[in-house]
Structure 1
Amino acid sequence: MPYQHVLVAIDLTDECDPVMLRAQKLATSSEAKLSVVHIVEPMAMAFGGDVPMDLSMLQQQQFDQARERLDTFVKKHPEISPDKCHLAYGQPRQEIHRLAEEQQCDLIIVGSHGRHGLALLLGSTANDVLHGAPCDVLAVRLKKAH
């Protein structure tokens, strides 16, 4: 059965262009809706949660910058409808799963560097998203920059 609604999780780097291209081709061939999400992680998570200062202003700046970059990304990819463009705040796996369920997506597409060895994979967002996903997950292999 063809997919009905594809959710693409992007990190807003140049590396997400091939992921978006693959998603667009798949959505077009399936006549599926296409949604995009970028997750802004709480700064306290990056610092191990033990931060002796108020990060709220930095967090707001980080969120505003992500919104600008997401808007620029959408302009570059006219196949994405602005109302299918999501910016979320939190832990990537949880937010991607939540949005996939909320939007009734039947496929999540993420980029993967395909590092070798299980230990290297365990920390990756792609691997994280795979576990407990409410639908199919497609990991698009990203080529290493030379």
Structure 2
Amino acid sequence: MSYQHIVIAVDLNGDNRQLLEKGAALAAACDARLSLIHVDIHHAPYYSALGLQTYHYSGEVPAEVTASKQLADIARQSPYPIPDSIVVSGELLPELRKEIDARGIDLIIFGHHHDV
């Protein structure tokens, strides 16, 4: 099977080197478009269900801007071109489904960190 659009799901707090290498190698073999995605899991509904408030201060840099900059830094480390980085906020599976449908993604590469 030849993939057309491969996306690497990245953790902004983790080491994404292996994912980048595997995604780049597969994209090169398939001559596919390679992108990055980060889903910022939205916790506000959980806080409000507990009766807690979430606040956004006017001096804060929006999380999406910070995440976009981090994804750009990760993309520059790739041995294969990554022209597109995607940052979304919400529940993981529904947000991934929206991006799959909207962008014609046919493979998402995830990593998993094991605690020793």
Q: What is the TM-score normalised by the length of structure 2?
A: 0.78
Q: Which of 46, 67, 82 matches 1:80?
A: 82
Whole-Å separation in 2 of the counterparts to 1:15 and 1:47? 29
Question: SS where residue 37 of structure 2 aligns?
Answer: strand
In the alignment of these two chains, the number of paired residues is: 114
1:23 aligns with 2:23: yes
Distance 1:25 1:56, change over 3 A: same
Q: In structure 2, what residue type is equivalent to 1:94?
A: P
Displacement after TM superposition at 1:102 (Å): 0.9
Whole-Å separation in 2 of the counterparts to 1:37 and 1:145? 24
Distance 1:101 1:47, change over 3 A: same
Whole-Å separation in 2 of the counterparts to 1:111 and 1:48? 31
- Would the aligned equivalents of 2:44 and 2:54 in 1 still touch at CA under 8 Å? no
- Would the aligned equivalents of 1:7 and 1:109 in 2 still touch at CA under 8 Å? yes
* Paired position in structure 2 for 1:125: none
- Identify unmatched segments of 5+ residues in structure 1: 114-143
- Equivalence map 1:10-89=2 (5 Å): 10-44=10-44, 47=47, 49-57=49-57, 61-77=62-78, 79-81=81-83, 84-89=84-89
- Would the aligned equivalents of 1:9 and 1:96 in 2 still touch at CA under 8 Å? no
Whole-Å separation in 1 of the counterparts to 2:111 and 2:22? 10
Which segment drifts farther, 10-19 or 32-41?
10-19
Q: Which has the higher contact order (CA 8 A, sep 6+)?
A: 2
- Would the aligned equivalents of 1:10 and 1:16 in 2 still touch at CA under 8 Å? yes
Which structure has more helix as a fraction of its residues? 1
Displacement after TM superposition at 1:69 (Å): 1.4
Distance 1:60 1:42, change over 3 A: farther
C-alpha root-mean-square deviation of aligned residues, in Å?
Answer: 2.6
Q: In structure 1, what residue type is equivalent to 2:108?
A: I
